[in-house]
Amino acid sequence: MGKGWIGKVLRVNLTEGTCAVEKLNEAWAREYLGGRGLASKYLCAEVDPGVDPLGPENKLIFAAGPLTGTYGAANGRYMAVTKSPLSGTIASSNSGGCFPSELRYAGYDLIIFEGKSPRPVYLQIHNQNVKLADASQLWGQSTDRTEDLIREKFHGDAKVACIGPAGERRVLFANIINDKHRAAGRSGVGAVMGSKNLKAVAVRGNGGVEVADPQGYRTAALDSYGLLRNNPVSGQGLPALGTAVLVNIINQSGALPTNNFQFDTFAGAEAISGEKLAETYLKRNKSCLGCVIGCGRVTRLSGAAYQGSGEGPEYESIWALGAACGVSDLAAVTKANYLCNEYGMDTITAGATVACAMELFEKGLLSEAEVGMPLPFGDGAAMVKLIELIAKNEGFGQKLALGSYRLAELYGAPELSMSVKKLEFPAYDGRGLQGMALQYATSNRGACHVRGYLVSPEILGLPEKLDPQAIEGKASWTKIFQDFTAVVDSVGVCLFTTFAIGAPQVTRLLNAATGLTLDEEGLLVVGDRIWNLERQFNLRAGVDPGQDTLPKRLLDEPIPDGPLRGATARLAEMLPEYYRLRGWSADGIPGEEKLKSLGLS
Amino acid sequence: MVQVSFYSLLRLLLKRETLALPWTPGLDVRQLLTRVQAEIPTPFLDRLLDADGTLIPGTIILVDRHNIHHLAGLATPIPDGATVALFPPGAGG
């Protein structure tokens, strides 16, 4: 096995209670790199896409990249890959912190969980010593408490990834929390973990990561550090204000979805902005292992209504629990964010589902008696209460735990779910940003912002400013961004570095670490391969190209307010070109020739 | 009058959210920035503009919520009663 990769896969059969180490498939590692790409390859090879996501036949893969645990450019990420119970698509959720690097220091690139344990267990890894331990005392505990208890019982320096009560109860958007506050957030990967009776993975590693060309790697890493430190976004903006700096930017630009996408400007934006967070509850910033950016927010609430401490809220969480619900009470948003982390739930889907319920209520489709309380937009206390009910699977929370699509469908109004492929939108309205509209519609995991992030050129002007309302060229931009982020998610680098570094730097780091000889074009071919692999999984899972679409609201209802008033998503004008650039048929099916060129046939 | 709003690092740096200035005929964004700097003792233009006076990539200036990149850049005229929002480069997600 080449350097960069450890070369080992830990396979854990939860049904049998066995753990075995096997050699990493070297050919696959070279073609799919690691993380999202390599785990997707293993999943496609080992799991029938038609499987029940919460059944024992589904597998859950934790995958680091060949750069995870090295210094250089915020190289501390891993992916949790499985079939999503929320969307039915392939799921791959990304997280940072310290846990991913520790996995590599213990001597593993991937962990594959298969089957279902007959009782709650957690996995202990101390270098080559691996065993499944009883988790009956951990079951029911918050993510925060679970980590504390594992450190007391197993190892004081263990790094822990775990589920909370939401994952145990199969909330369809339960997440996996590591290092107490970092989340593999979307698509319900925590529900899959819960379905396997797997409470946590605890790792202690004393090894390291060898790179193929130490001097070349050192030079590439120092160059990347310099770019990150000297860039105004990664060197100044993100450390000082975190991701929440976007609240005012997106709101002023007229693309902040408000009241379940009924409006695109929010009068309460200033009150929940990053600037306001810095002025009120922020205590300090925090970095993942080896990161020079430090975008994490350490916060504390000590008011009369809400108390607590933790990390965040991040921009997407502020939006979902705030503007999407019409809530301008930053304390309520922060408290709801803490609850989501402690119970182990995706803040985006949680908030967006409450927002959907609020619209159902205001339209008279949902009664006060059924919810147990009035549910108007703007009611922060009700929003916080519902977050608790979801996690505890109590009362109306049981319906919210299904996500917005299934909730809206139950009340005969699926069009009020602001989602694609049953995954809820994040914090940017695709009517205002045409590239984002295309990205949302075509993303392999549904309405996701980190499968391309066209927000960067369309609003932020990075790497160059595009007109958000133009459609010309957006198909090409979307494909390139999708392919590049597939690579970033696969090598183990944080996506936020790409505000300062790009394909040239990632290529240098990857080649120096692994001995590969890719050029930038070759790097994007790897991304294209990963994208098509995921597409193949979805097609076989029955997610047909007809789902490459958007809610009726985005397609037919013009934005009613703000500078982008009158805009709708012009998806039909962009989708054919996108399919053509992908080398797919006019119906969105990858052809044999295309698949063959990528080694996928 | 013209209402100028400071966001992100500018707000932390200047410790103020807004500044109101009298409008004058022919006022454009470049002239406005110069006038704002003259009113505020803390240097801040280097957060928005390069040494040669062009916009730093990622700088966002909105005139009545419209990005000047898609208007006339720093030569964008400012109407009486306008609101101008200043954002140094920022990002997240």
CATH number, domain with residue A369: 1.10.569.10
Stated as kind and residue range, the H or E segment containing A407 is: helix A404-410
Residue A420: strand pairing partners = A423
pTM of the complete model beyond 0.80: yes
Give the 3-state secondary structure of residue A299: strand
Could you give the CA distance from residue A526 to residue A538 in angstroms, rounded to a whole number?
A: 19
Q: How confident is the model at residue A287 (pLDDT cuts 50, 70, 90)?
A: very high
Percent with pLDDT over 90 in chain A: 98
Reply yes or no on whether the pLDDT at A417 is more than 90.
Answer: yes
- Residue A232 is predicted with a pLDDT of 93
User: B52-80 pLDDT, tens per residue?
Assistant: 999 999 999 999 999 999 999 999 999 99
Residue of A nearest to B93 (CA): A243
Of A493, A452, A503, nearest to A475 by C-alpha is A452
In Å, how far is B54's CA from the nearest CA of chain A? Answer: 14
Would you state the pLDDT for residue A150?
98
**How far, in whole angstroms, is CA A190 from its chain's centroid?**
12
Which residue among A161, A184, A204 closes a domain?
Answer: A204
Q: What is the 3-state secondary structure (H, E, C) of A465-501?
A: CCCCCCCCCHHHHHHHHHHHHHHHHHHCCCHHHHHCC
Bridge partners, A301 (sequence order): A308
Residue B61 lies in a domain: yes
Chain A / chain B CB contacts < 8 angstroms: 108
Q: Name the CA radius of gyration of chain A, rounded.
A: 22
B8 reaches A (C-beta below 8 A): yes
Residue B71 placed within a domain? yes
The answer to whether residue A141 scores a pLDDT higher than 70 is yes
Mean pLDDT value across residues A539-564: 98
Do residue A254 and residue A350 come from a single domain?
Answer: yes
Chain B partners within 8 Å of A428 (Cβ): none
Residues A499, B91: C-beta atoms closer than 8 Å: yes
Question: Exposure of A338 by Cβ count < 10 A (0-12 exposed, 13-18 middle, 19+ buried)?
Answer: buried
Q: Name the pLDDT band for A72 (thresholds 50, 70, 90).
A: confident
C-alpha distances in Å from residue B47, one per residue of A251, A415, A461, A585, A594: 21, 44, 15, 47, 46
Say how many domains are in chain B. 1
CATH, residue B47: 3.10.20.30
Whether residue A461 and residue B91 make contact (CB cut-off 8 A), yes or no, is no
Identify the pLDDT of residue A2.
67
In tens, the pLDDT along A201-238 reads 999 999 999 999 999 999 999 999 999 999 999 999 99
Q: B68 touching A, CB under 8 A? A: no
| Residue A262 shares a structural domain with residue A124 | no
Give residue for tokens 């694609």: A420
Sorted by sequence, the CB contacts under 8 Å of residue A432 that are 6+ apart come out as A253, A254, A255, A264, A468, A469, A559, A564, A567
| β pairing state of A90-95 and A78-83 | antiparallel
Q: How confident is the model at residue A456 (pLDDT cuts 50, 70, 90)?
A: very high
Q: Mean pLDDT across the stretch A73-80?
A: 92
Q: Is the pLDDT of residue A375 over 90?
A: yes
Structure tokens, A271: 């009150």
Say if residue A175 is in the same domain as residue A246. no
The beta-carbon neighbor of B12 closest among A240, A450, A455 is A240
Domain of A406 in residue numbering reads as 238-424
Q: What is the pLDDT of residue A295?
A: 95
Q: What span, in angstroms and rounded, lies between the C-alpha atoms of A436 and A475?
A: 10
Among chain A residues, the shortest Cα distance to B86 is held by A249
CATH number at A19 reads: 3.60.9.10
Q: Whole-angstrom distance between the N-terminal and C-terminal Cα of chain A?
A: 25
- B58:A467 CB<8 A: no
Longest dimension (CA), chain B: 40
Residue B93 counted as domain residue: no
Same domain, A263 and A402: yes
Domain ranges, residue B80: 2-87
Q: Is the pLDDT of residue A486 over 90?
A: yes
Contact A233 B91 (CB under 8 A): yes
Q: How many domains does chain A have?
A: 2
- Residue B92, domain member (yes or no): no
